Amino acid sequence: MNPAFENITSLRAKLAARDITPTEVIEALRARCTQVEPSVSAFNHLDWDTALREAATADASLPLGGVPIAIKDVIAVKGQPCTCSSKILKGHTAVYDAGVIERLRSLGAVPVGRCNMDEFAMGSSTENSADGPTRNPWDTSRIPGGSSGGSAACVAAHEAIASLGSDTGGSIRQPAALCGCVGLKPTYGRVSRYGLVAFASSLDQIGPFTKTVRDAATLLGAISGRDPRDCTSLDQPVPDYTASLEQGVKGLRIGVPKEYFIEGMDKDVEQTTRQALDQLAKLGAELVDISLPHTNYALSSYYIIAPAEASANLARFDGVRYGARVPDGKDVLDVYSRTRALGFGNEVKRRIILGTYVLSSGYYDAYYLRAQKVRTLIRKDFEEAWKKCDIIATPTTPTPAFKLGEKTGDPIQMYLSDVFTIAVNMAGLCGLSLPCGFVQRDSTDLPLGLQFIGKAFDEATLLRASHAYEQSTEWHTRRPVL
């Protein structure tokens, strides 16, 4: 088989047995990218020479020895561009490795490529990129989701064995669902954010995109753990997430929240999700009806909290220390304002303006403080739900992948793409999306995702349920035709 179509588990077995070399894997990926990247545009940057040099010295005896991992262009890899798909950071090169990259390197993995994304991770379609949009491998006239659209698309198109993305309000799970791969958002504090360019610091989390749930468990174990350089990183034990995968779901209580089956969602999405729930019941799980009553307020409160944090975090991009800078500024204020006006895209500007407004004098209590109180209520909803269930199952997205340009003129409709994922970030929980079926649009099959939501730091149960469902279906075995 072409090494590009392998997953981490199968590839590691062949590397360990010396049936294939890390260099041959990189060459196979380069050939695959040459074939399909013009259609998909998943990457901002590819440096095959560096990847081949690192592969040549990779230690195949290590847990991830010789396995190439693609990296979202918001995570620092020393010596590689780190632009966040923004004009304001064009030409910027990372001078250090992020914490997750250090961990991957220590286990023998080879970082390969910079994945395209919505600028500064602000978007749901990977259309807000200074490098142009990424396209869905299943239908290149459609979006791959966002903001980690490049990370999802390259895995789905078999341009990468696996990848890393970031999730602030659904940016791993939503594109994973729309591209037909596995996307895992860890519990807040499980994975170091050191070296992740901040969007909303109380919500951001790094996580993997993979071809199978087992691979997601492997990568999560690799990148998890306390990092003293990230004050939000928690000192929690990191179990072997692959050890409990085969336990199945018999006797597991799976909560089904009524608020996640709403008016206006695509009927095929609801039907497919219901079929997935029936399959879990056949496997021995107990389905429990639950309510998360403050879910309806998650989206609006998120779009107060996240822009407020973004307005503070993005203040550092001022044209003075690094990145783009207008050459003929009259004074410091002129340099600031003109550089940011030219360097940021419209969606980033929109969120900075909104965030600055809700933090301004006279509006802080009315908007930001109230949104934080709603966030507490959302978290308490989940705490009550855990008394009745062990895990929660929902649709990942309200619709299949939509056409490029279909929602760019309507920010509210775009924001609604994350309506089922945002509450997980607001509560600091873990969530995973995996393929659960396909729906036909324009004579093309488009993937849909099932979302599992788990208790804080209980990724093991999340992965156990996901693996049981995955192994009882064939959705994860399908490939897009490119």
- What are the catalytic residues? 72, 147, 171
Cα–Cα distances (Å) from 473 to 204, 253, 276, in that order, read: 31, 20, 9
CB 119 within 8 A of CB 129: yes
Q: State the Cα–Cα distance between residues 91 and 319, nearest whole angstrom.
A: 13
Q: State the Cα–Cα distance between residues 463 and 101, nearest whole angstrom.
A: 23
Name the nearest CA neighbour of 59 among 113, 102, 120, 16. 16
Burial of 104 (0-12, 13-18, 19+ CB in 10 A): buried
Q: State the Cα–Cα distance between residues 158 and 85, nearest whole angstrom.
A: 22
Cα–Cα distances (Å) from 296 to 21, 292, 392, 454, in that order, read: 51, 9, 17, 20
Provide the edge-to-edge strand list for the sheet that holds 430-441.
Answer: 43-45, 110-115, 68-72, 163-166, 206-210, 182-185, 430-441, 444-454, 391-395, 253-257, 286-290
Q: How many helices (DSSP H) and strands (DSSP E) are in the chain? A: 15, 11
Residue 407 DSSP code: S
Name the nearest CA neighbour of 428 among 386, 463, 379, 395. 379
C-alpha dihedral (450, 451, 452, 454), degrees to nearest 10: 180
Cα–Cα distances (Å) from 475 to 158, 188, 294, 470, in that order, read: 16, 29, 32, 8
Per the DSSP assignment, residues forming a β-bridge with 257 are 290
Helix axes 370-385, 298-313, angle to 10 degrees: 130
3-state SS assignment for residue 453? strand
Q: State the Cα–Cα distance between residues 55 and 22, nearest whole angstrom.
A: 5
Q: Which spans in 212-315 are helix H?
A: 213-223, 267-282, 298-313
